Amino acid sequence: MAPANTAALLDPGAEPSNSSENESGDRDRLRPLARGRPTVEELFRAYAPQMGSIAFRLLQNDADVDDVLQDVFAVATRKIDQVADLQGARPWLATITIRTARARLRRRRWLGWFGLDRSDSSEQLASSEASPDDRALLSQVMRELERLPYNERVAWTLRHLEEESLQSVALMCGCSLATAKRWIRRAEVRIAKRLNRDGT
């Protein structure tokens, strides 16, 4: 299994809430919008921080987050009629964020083949209070995440860093619960093997 305290190594300013707190926070933020479909501006105010957190975890680079958010809410502007109810807004936006981050990662890998992208952003993800050993551990985990198939990377990140429920992971990834569990388990096994091989 991946280390249980991985999320604790991350910047506390970007710490995710647990899934029940996420759902409670959604209700609190959206209560004033309960009389009809929200506008894109209202969704941005309610959900941009969470979407930014997901993008940051997946891309591991703070410089990309603003561009991803702009793309996500540009898509939301065009497809706002797909939001059937307020409770469905967060997973809908998360799915758009995941797809947008995938496109950016593909571009980054393409640039990497030509030596044009050499970013190492594990330091951006680490808490300022993390010890050198913790920073080294986080760097190893993040390097292994970069090697994972994208679906496994997303599922593991949502589950262990964003602390989403398994049901939410499946909904955001657009897959069945069984598939989400399988992706997470595969990622856990690969990360554990890497850490064991490195003697961590």
Q: At 85, phi and psi to the nearest 5?
A: -155, 165
Q: Helix H segments across 15-163?
A: 19-30, 40-59, 65-78, 89-113, 122-125, 132-147, 150-156
pLDDT at 16: 42
- The answer to whether residue 185 is domain-embedded is yes
The encoded tokens of residue 140 equal 């190893």
- The answer to whether residue 2 is domain-embedded is no
pLDDT at 175: 95
Residue-number span of the structural domain to which 67 is assigned: 7-197
Task: Report, as ranges of residue numbers, the positions in the chain whose pLDDT lies below 70.
Answer: 1-36, 85-87, 108-131, 133-136, 138, 198-200
pTM: 0.69
- The answer to whether residue 192 is domain-embedded is yes
pLDDT at 36: 67
Who contacts 76 (Cβ-Cβ below 8 Å, separation ≥6)? 40, 43, 93, 96
- The answer to whether residue 141 is domain-embedded is yes
- The answer to whether residue 29 is domain-embedded is yes
pLDDT at 196: 81
Q: How far apart are CA 11 and CA 13, in angstroms?
A: 5
Name the domain count of the chain: 1
Quote the crossing angle between the two packed helices 65-78 and 89-113, to the nearest 10°.
Answer: 130
pLDDT at 12: 35
The encoded tokens of residue 172 equal 């955001």
- The answer to whether residue 1 is domain-embedded is no
- The answer to whether residue 142 is domain-embedded is yes
Q: Measuring CA to CA, how many Å separate 33 from each of 43, 72, 85, 86, 102? A: 10, 21, 10, 8, 31
The model's pLDDT over 39-53, given as tens digits with 9 standing for 90+, comes to: 889 899 999 999 999
Who contacts 166 (Cβ-Cβ below 8 Å, separation ≥6)? 159, 177, 180, 181, 184
The encoded tokens of residue 157 equal 């990140």
Who contacts 96 (Cβ-Cβ below 8 Å, separation ≥6)? 72, 75, 76
pLDDT at 86: 65
- The answer to whether residue 33 is domain-embedded is yes
